[in-house]
Amino acid sequence: MNDVRIRTFEDATRVGAYELSRRWADSVGKVGRTADGEIQELATMAALAHWLTRWLPTQTHRAALAGADRVTIAAALGVTVEEAAARWSEWARGQRDLYEATGRDGKTPIGISAGECAQVAAVLGIPGRRP
C-alpha cells in the first residue's frame, strides 16, 4: 500500500489507519518537502485524526472493562470525567441499538449487550440509565 499516492482525505482513508500511522511516523519532521509532500502529510494527519476520534469510545469501553477507573480513563483522554462519560454514552447508545437490531431471530448480535453496557456505565459513573 505504500505506493498509493495520497492527495486527499478520501485517498488517505482508503489506505487504512495502520498504514497511515506507519507512514506518518516515518515522515514526521522531514524538512524541505514539496507542496505535494506537505499535502500528503496533511491528508494523512486528517484521516488519522478521523480514525482515532472514532475509536476513542471503543477504547474507553475496553479500558473500563479491563478494570480502569473513571478518573484514570478521563486523564488518559485529557478530558473531565463527565466528558469521558458523555463521549462514551453517545457511542454506547448506537452500539446498544445495533445489538438489539442485529440480535433478532437467533442471529449473533453486533454491538454491546445491556449487561456490558451497564458494567461500563457504572465505571464511568452513570449507572441506572441507558447511555
Q: Average pLDDT for residues 53-80, to the nearest whole number?
A: 96
Q: Average pLDDT for residues 77-94, to the nearest whole number?
A: 96
Looking at residue 130, its pLDDT comes to: 57
User: pTM for this one?
Assistant: 0.80
Residue 14 in this model has a pLDDT that exceeds 80: yes
Average of per-residue pLDDT values in the chain: 91
70-74 LR contacts (CB < 8 Å, sep 24+): 70/123, 70/124, 70/125, 73/123, 73/124
Q: Average pLDDT for residues 13-32, to the nearest whole number?
A: 87
Looking at residue 31, its pLDDT comes to: 81
Burial of 42 (0-12, 13-18, 19+ CB in 10 A): middle
